[in-house]
């Protein structure tokens, strides 16, 4: 099998080379992202599959070109699939993903961002490197007894809520499909309005869909407690960045911890330090003392990279040997879901 691997970074290669070699697969790494301009790089090369990440664009035009070039599979090396036009892919391409590789990596990063922000570790680190040992302005608050609102209680949300309970926090949860069995005296499901009104900290762990797009907008922020801390390690467009910026400027939002950003695709994962940042909202957010931005690194642990590579290659092996994969996605009735019986293709 010949695989075209887009948006390749040095940290991707060791684990993918290891698992691909074991299965006799050939990988060609492209540093560029897959999109309408770059898809023609595959012309005449007889690739069987493309391997893509979160900021590659697999829209209907890209899908049609892949189909014309007889590429049969899009292997996402991530869980989210919001960058793939699943409707357009139906009956043309198999779409595989990695549903779980380390929920701990993302949940632990969310907590790292939260602690950094509320205990001002980012400020203290810079001060002490300059031998400035003043504590002025570094007052934080205890997490113990605070209420955390968790939107999305799937794999990552559940690890995060366990971590929060370890800190003695109370949990309010919202999920389109609540798992009532995890409720107890310190954890209960509620609606979004109550979650917004009562949470000291709100953390997003749901996928980006038409329903969750801008779930945190001006209206939602208006309902929140003064000083609320918002954490987004899921997908940028869950948060209306302009509304968040206004919430911070008005002092309604006490802090924001962002591992993802709506317009991240041309910026994140790259060194832009020598360039003028065109995105005024991101520039303003980064300039705030109470905003921490990391560039979509929550997944980036050794364990996760190993699991991502192994599952991606296993998905392709399973598909080539049996014609289907347990991690295949399909589009049915307006929704994307796991394709269990291969009847959709």
Site of interaction with ligand NAI (CB under 6 A):
79-80, 100, 103, 106, 151-157, 174-177, 205-209, 211-212, 233-235, 259-260, 296, 298-299
* Active-site annotation holder among 97, 108, 296, 328: 296
Contact 162, 190 (CB under 8 A): no
Please choose, from the candidates 218, 181, 216, 182, the residue with its C-alpha nearest in 3D space to the C-alpha of residue 199. 216
44: left (phi over 0), alpha (psi -120 to 50) or beta: left
Residue 175 beta carbon to ligand NAI: minimum distance, rounded to whole angstroms:
4
Q: Output 190 or 320, the one with its CB closest to ligand NAI.
A: 190
Rounded-to-integer distance, Cα 311 and Cα 96, Å: 10
Rounded-to-integer distance, Cα 252 and Cα 242, Å: 14
Contact 235, 80 (CB under 8 A): yes
User: Locate tokens 């899009």: which residue?
Assistant: 74
Rounded-to-integer distance, Cα 213 and Cα 205, Å: 13
* Active-site annotation holder among 94, 235, 262, 328: 235
- Per-residue DSSP letter, 276: -
Cβ within 8 Å of residue 309, ≥6 positions away: 12, 15, 16, 18, 19, 77
Q: Judge whether 296 counts as a catalytic residue.
A: yes
253-258/49-52 β-pairing: unpaired
Cα atoms in the 13 Å half-sphere on the side-chain side of 181: 1
Cβ within 8 Å of residue 154, ≥6 positions away: 175, 205, 206
Please choose, from the candidates 189, 101, 105, the residue with its C-alpha nearest in 3D space to the C-alpha of residue 150. 189
Rounded-to-integer distance, Cα 341 and Cα 5, Å: 27
Q: Judge whether 235 counts as a catalytic residue.
A: yes
Cβ within 8 Å of residue 98, ≥6 positions away: 76, 77, 78, 79, 307, 308, 311, 312, 315, 327
Q: What angle do CA 69, 341, 34 make, to 5 degrees?
A: 30
Q: Judge whether 31 counts as a catalytic residue.
A: no
So which residues are the catalytic ones?
235, 264, 296
């Amino acid at each position: 099998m010949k695989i075209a691997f887009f948006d390749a970074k040095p940290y991707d290669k060791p684990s993918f080379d290891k698992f691909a070699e074991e299965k006799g697969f050939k990988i060609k790494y492209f540093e560029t992202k897959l999109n309408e301009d770059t898809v023609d790089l595959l012309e005449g090369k007889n690739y069987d599959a493309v391997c893509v990440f979160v900021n590659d664009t697999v829209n209907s035009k890209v899908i049609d070109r892949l189909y014309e070039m007889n590429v049969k599979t899009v292997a996402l090396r991530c869980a989210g699939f919001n960058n793939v036009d699943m409707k357009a892919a139906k009956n043309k391409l198999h779409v595989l993903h990695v549903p779980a590789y380390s929920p701990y990596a993302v949940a632990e990063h969310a907590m790292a961002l939260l602690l950094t922000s509320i205990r001002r570790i980012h400020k203290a680190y810079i001060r002490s490197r300059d031998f400035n040992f003043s504590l002025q302005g570094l007052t934080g608050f205890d997490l113990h007894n605070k209420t955390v609102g968790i939107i999305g209680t799937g794999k990552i949300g559940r690890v995060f809520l366990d971590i929060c309970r370890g800190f003695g926090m109370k949990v309010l949860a919202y999920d389109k499909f609540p798992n009532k069995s995890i409720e107890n005296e310190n954890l209960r499901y509620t609606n979004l309005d109550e979650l917004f009104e009562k949470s000291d900290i709100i953390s997003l762990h749901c996928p980006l869909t038409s329903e969750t797009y801008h779930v945190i907008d001006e209206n939602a922020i208006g309902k929140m407690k003064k000083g609320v801390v918002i954490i987004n390690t899921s997908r940028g467009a869950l948060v209306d960045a302009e509304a968040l910026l206004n919430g911070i400027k008005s002092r309604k939002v006490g802090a924001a911890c962002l591992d993802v950003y709506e317009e991240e695709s041309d910026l994140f994962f790259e060194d832009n330090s020598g360039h003028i940042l065109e995105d005024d909202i991101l520039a303003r957010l980064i300039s705030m003392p109470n905003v921490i931005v990391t560039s979509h690194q929550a997944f980036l642990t050794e364990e996760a990279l190993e699991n991502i590579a192994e599952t991606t290659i296993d998905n392709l092996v399973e598909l080539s040997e049996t014609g289907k994969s347990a991690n295949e996605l399909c589009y049915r009735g307006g929704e994307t879901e796991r394709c269990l019986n291969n009847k959709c293709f």
